[in-house]
Amino acid sequence: MNRSRIKMIFKIASLIFLTSISSLAQTEDCAPEDTQGYNMLLIGNSFFRPYAEKLNDMASVAGFENHNGHTVFRGGDNGRAINFWNDSASREHQEIKATLDQGNIDIFGMTAGHEPEDRTEGHRAWINYALQNNPDITIFIAIPQIDFPADWDQRAAEFGFETIQELYDFFVNDLVHNEMVDQLRIEFPSTKIFTIPTGWASVNLDRMNMDGELLDNISRFGPQATSIFTDTKGHQGDIVRETGGLVWLKSIYGVDLNTFDYETGFNTDLPQVAEDIVKNHDSDYSLCFSQSDSEPNDLGTPNVKCESTYDVIIEEDITYAEGLSHDGTSPTTSAIPLKLDIYRPDNDSENRPVYMFVHGGAFSGGSKKQEAIVDQAHYFASRGWVFISIDYRLTGDLGSIFTGIVPQEWLDVVSQTSQARQGVAMYMAQRDSKAAMRWIVANADNYNINTDYITVGGGSAGAVTALTLGISNQEDFRDEISLTDDPTLATTNLDQTYEIKSIVDHWGSNNALEVYGFIYGTNRFDSNDPPLFIAHGIEDPTVLFSEAEELVHLYDSTGAHVELNTLVGRGHGPWGATLNGKSLSDLS
């Protein structure tokens, strides 16, 4: 055997060993890590500035220690994005560019003010500039109130509406969302763009005050401390500023305002007012919106929710295929059922995305009913996904006779390592997960699944399998064994095909793909690979953090999209970890 082959077999043994001990660390302490915070650039006018300043105060109270909001302000129309851009000789224009040139801005916020001839011109120019040094930047557009509140009823009537609420809703959805944000998303398909409808704070509090629903003595116009508006233009009093700041905090950081320990200085339940504003905001334009394809399918983009909205219906132990198993040392194989659990929302949607999850456990243990997986299942199903958790064959299904369960060439390589059983089980896991995915496609209509929106994810060994499923060719881990050798392949919906939309990797690696590539001389990574989300602890002793870095390198080399979420101070299996106040489910 040549030296390079010996070295590769040794590496395969090491890879399988790292995965094989992963079950020892599946239940790490779930205490959340210290929250951090976004580095933000915020540009706007006098209706925008109070909320930017409030956000800085509230983010600190909420524990986002590294939050930084750099605000650039000019009054009136001068604070619009287009005027900041056109005034290229101004100090503010240069300050905005200098801040973006540093290349460390996470979120760039602008006011929605625009010119009617081209509603997106200024925002487009600044986004283009921001992306030069901040390729992963997130954009938000704050939608202000309509000014001159004393004239609101008259202005609503002029536009054919009965109330200011109807007019502002039109302003938010028809003008800003449809004519600005939708256009910007088409032009910048890889950039997340969302909105914050802060104007609802003024509109709703003004109505509540007129209806006697405020628990404070508040006038419509007057001093900042005791009024809705401080002048006829409609600049905000403190009660509006506090509420709008909470709307920003909820929209950007996802803070639960009902449990947020913060004193607004008012008796009225302003956190609940802000919660209601965010809850009623169109989820397609929130921070966790579902981005649509440039070529949408007939059904369109599935509509999912940011918050838990639906009851969850559970179907357990559904057989998706069969697989060969050995009993002890018997040379005779027998077919065993392979099962999955389905969690689906109790709604009438005919357009649901699907998330198939593969449990970890070193290919020798674990279950589709692991607590962390069940928690994720409820998280996603309650927001509109169909979540499917699968079991697959493990080392305990092998007996001591391997022939006929994996290809001979695979067996020849892994049998030369000290982890032969895990190596064989690794192949079976890939074969079985692909069978599960074909079952999902074959039964999509029964669960109103939109098969153009398939996500696959996993933890540890399950993430190894999820990566393989998303990146390998359809025939890989399927056609190496014939129906004669494995008659159970006939139960695996071989006539079905699928396309993975995205991959979620929790502390996994590309082990299976690397072994497959060594045996069959392939490299499956290319620019068409699905977007990849990675969460990995720096202190992981089981699947080293360098495995995540290698995946990032492989993706970067092809130009495919990858996002690495580094879990500082974390080891293996930190399901309770958070980043910037968001759980792993929130992030993925």
Q: In terms of pTM, does the model score above 0.75?
A: no
pLDDT value, residue 28: 37
* Residue 211 predicted with pLDDT over 90: yes
- Rounded to the nearest integer, the mean pLDDT of the chain is 88
The token pair that represents 372 in the structure block: 């962390």
CA distance 39 to 424: 47
List of residues 6+ apart from 545 with CB closer than 8 A: 536, 537, 538, 539, 566
Within 10 A of 557 (CB to CB), how many other CB atoms are there?
11
- What domains does the chain contain, in order, with CATH numbers? 39-285 (3.40.50.1110), 315-540 (3.40.50.1820)
Quote the Cα angle for 558-463-292, to 5°. 60
Confidence of residue 95 (pLDDT cuts 50, 70, 90): very high
Average pLDDT over residues 497-508: 94
Within 10 A of 146 (CB to CB), how many other CB atoms are there?
17
Average pLDDT over residues 263-268: 96
- At 191 the three-state DSSP class reads coil
Q: For 18-43, how does the pLDDT look when each residue is reduced to its tens digit (9 = 90+)?
A: 444 444 333 333 222 334 899 999 99
Contact (CB, 8 A) for 18 and 542: yes
The token pair that represents 355 in the structure block: 């998330």
To the nearest whole percent, how much of the chain has pLDDT over 70? 90
* Residue 488 predicted with pLDDT over 50: yes
Contact (CB, 8 A) for 167 and 146: yes
CA distance 221 to 212: 16
CA distance 40 to 71: 8
Q: For 384-414, how does the pLDDT look when each residue is reduced to its tens digit (9 = 90+)?
A: 999 999 999 998 888 765 656 788 898 888 8
